Amino acid sequence: MSKDHPTLLVNATEANQRFSRLLAESEQGHEVVITRRGRAVARLLPVFGGDEAETSFGHPVGSDLPDYDKRRALIDTCRQMNKIGLNQGASGNASVRVDGGLLITPSGLDYDKTEPVDIVKINYEGRVLRGSRNPSSEWHFHCRVMAAKPEAGALLHTHSINATTLACLGRSIPPFHYMVAVAGGRDIRCAPYATFGTEKLADAVLTALDGRLACLMANHGMLVMGRDLEDALKRAVEIETLAAQYLKALAVGKPQLLTVGDMDVVLEKFKSYSAWANPKAR
């Protein structure tokens, strides 16, 4: 120890037995600080240098992490959301269900810089089960929705331009087009405004998602459920398209809306249409 470096440097190999649960983070190239009662007491040195991306056997570093494939898929989905314009920068967040809880994106980290070891595992009360980063500030509604909706395998929250524009107007999306049914009901509700990262917002979201697979959040963005990440992303793209179409229709005049009976027929047909089938949504 020195005045400049008050923490103890511990080689990862020597600390293998004592700190085995942190080895994956170390192998990923991160320096892991060990704390006790909020005070740094040791630093686990990386096994590899920052430029090493593969093991000698050709497997990605950290591929032995629990749920590695789902961690990778979660990151890939978030990067895809940015690529196609559903999100910008580090906005939005996502989660996927795993045994014992959910994996969620970390708070404030750009998706392009996110690695599998950065993904945080939490339980349905928001307690961190694995990970050295803070979970997304929106963990409240991710946990509440996953706990209340056992059919949901993944959850995406986006700040897409058109859906967010409608949300900032406090507008739901009515049945102006039959594809509104992709959200599981006859309309896509807009939850009332509540501060991000609060239980009040989680309450509002759960109400808006009653019998639905997606909703808007006033002055905020969009939230979408899916059987898995692929299903959720597909639904998010469709809802953003609907939002754009609805805004264009409103710019010209008052859209003609489908009736309750019209939408009930569509919802029934969707039950047997493989692309959007989800019998538990209604």
Which residues have a catalytic role annotated? 138
What are the structure tokens assigned to 114, written together?
A: 């996110």
Query: Do the beta carbons of residue 276 and residue 182 sit within 8 Å?
Result: yes
Amino acid letter, residue 103 = L
* Exposed e or buried b per residue across 264-280, where buried means at least 16 C-beta atoms within 10 angstroms of its C-beta: eebbeebeeeeebebee
Q: How far apart are CA 31 and CA 198, in angstroms?
A: 31
Task: Let me know: does 71 contact 116? Beta carbons within 8 Å.
Answer: yes
Tokens of residue 216, six digits: 């808007």
217 to 54, 64, 239: CA distances (angstroms): 41, 37, 13
Query: Going edge to edge, which strands form the sheet with 154-158?
Result: 128-130, 120-122, 101-104, 93-98, 154-158, 221-226, 214-217, 190-191
Instruction: Output DSSP code: residue 135.
Output: B
DSSP calls for 141-165: HHHHHHHH-TT--EEEEE--HHHHH
Q: Which residues pair with 81 in a beta bridge?
A: none
Beta bridge partners of residue 42, listed in sequence order = 8, 34
212 close to 184: Cβ distance less than 8 angstroms: yes
